[in-house]
Chain A
Amino acid sequence: MAELPKIVRQRLRAGGGEVHPDADLLTAFAEKALGERERAQVLEHLAACAACREVVALALPQEEGEQARAAPQGMRGWVLRWQTAAALATVAVAAIALLTIPDAYFRARAPVQVAKAPPGQSAAAREENSAAANQPAHSEADAARKQAEASTTVTRNKKEAVVQGAGEGGAVSAVLADAERGRRDESKDKLGRVLPAPPAKEGQVSTFTAEGAKQVPPPAPPATYDLKTAQAAPAAPTYQAKAQSAGMEKKQAVGGLVAGAAQQQSESGAGKGTATAAPVAADQAQVAGPAQAGPAQAPARAANETVQVMAETVAVAPIWRTTAAGGLERSHDAGRNWHAVPVSAGAVWNAVSSVGEHVWAGGHRQRTAVLYHSGDGGAHWTRLEFTGPAGAAPAADVVALNFTDAQHGVMTVVAAEDPRLRQIWTTADGGHTWTAPPVH
Chain B
Amino acid sequence: MPHKPAVDLRRLEALFQELFRKSEGEQYGLTAVDFFRILAEVGAKYLPASAGETEARALYESLRAEELALARGCAAGNERAWEVFLTRFRAKLYDAARAITRDDASGRELADSLYASLYGTEMREGVRVSKLTFYMGRGSLEGWLRTVLAQEYVNQYRKRRREVSLDEHLEQGEQFAEPATAGGNPGTLPADPATGADPRLEAAADEALASLDAEERFILASYYLDGRTLAQIARTLGVHESTISRKLEKLAQELRKKTLAALERRGMSRRQAEEALEADVRDLSVDVRGRLAQEMSARPFQARRSRE
> What is A's interface to B at a CB cutoff of 8 Å?
1-13, 22-35, 37-38, 40, 43-44, 46-48, 50-51, 53-63, 199-203, 205-206, 208, 210, 212-213, 215, 323-327, 329, 340-342, 345-346
Contacts and interface: CB of A to CB of B under 8 A. Distances in A.
A323 B108 CA distance: 12
Nearest to B260: A5
B146 A59 contact: yes
A30 B141 contact: no
Contacts of B228: 57
B83 A345 contact: yes
B186 interface: no
Contacts of A44: 214
Contacts of A50: 221, 225-226
Contact of B91 (A11, A43, A212, A340): A340
The contact size tier of chain B is 35 or more
Nearest to A66: B99
Contacts of A59: 96, 100, 143, 146-147, 149-150
B277 interface: yes
Given A60-B236, A215-B88, A323-B94, 20 more contacts: A3-B252, A5-B259, A10-B197, A11-B206, A13-B225, A24-B138, A27-B139, A27-B147, A35-B62, A60-B232, A61-B142, A199-B94, A200-B99, A202-B95, A213-B66, A213-B140, A213-B141, A324-B104, A325-B94, A325-B108
Given A27-B147, A213-B67, A7 B277 contact: yes
A47 B224 contact: no
Given A31-B140, A215-B88, A345-B79, A8 B259 contact: yes
Given A47-B221, A345-B86, A28 B138 contact: yes
A338 B248 CA distance: 42
Nearest to B66: A213
A345 B82 contact: yes
A2 B249 contact: yes
Contacts of A38: 46
B209 A1 contact: no
Interface stretch (B151-159, B163-171, B295-303): B151-159
B249 A1 contact: yes
Nearest to A338: B91
A295 to B, nearest CB: 50
Contact of A12 (B55, B107, B158, B224): B224
A325 B226 CA distance: 31
Contact of A210 (B58, B96, B140): B140
Interface in B106-141: 107-108, 111, 134-141
A46 B147 CA distance: 14
11 contacts: A1-B249, A2-B253, A5-B255, A5-B281, A7-B204, A11-B202, A38-B46, A59-B146, A59-B149, A60-B146, A208-B88
B20 to A, nearest CB: 16
Interface on chain B toward A: helix, strand, loop, or mixed SS? helix
B208 A8 contact: yes
Nearest to A65: B231
Interface of B: 46, 48, 55, 58-59, 62, 64, 66-67, 79, 82-84, 86-88, 90-96, 98-100, 104, 107-108, 111, 134-144, 146-151, 153-154, 158, 178, 197, 201-202, 204-206, 208-209, 214-215, 217-218, 220-226, 228, 232, 235-236, 238, 245, 248-249, 252-253, 255-256, 259, 277, 280-281, 284
Contacts of A33: 62, 138-139
Contact of A58 (B104, B138, B150, B255): B150
A206 B90 CA distance: 12
A382 to B, nearest CB: 16
Contacts of B66: 212-213
A12 B225 contact: yes
Contacts of B284: 6
Nearest to B55: A35
A56 B221 CA distance: 13
Return the 6 tightest CB-CB contacts between A and B, nearest first: A27-B139, A325-B94, A2-B252, A47-B217, A58-B150, A199-B98
A24 B137 contact: yes
Contacts of B83: 342, 345
Given A2-B249, A33-B139, A46-B218, A203 B202 contact: no
A4 B95 contact: no
Nearest to A205: B91
A206 B142 CA distance: 13
A40 B154 CA distance: 23
Contact of A62 (B93, B99, B136, B154): B99
A38 to B, nearest CB: 8
A316 B134 CA distance: 43
Contact of B146 (A35, A61, A206): A61
A24 to B, nearest CB: 4
A400 B58 CA distance: 52
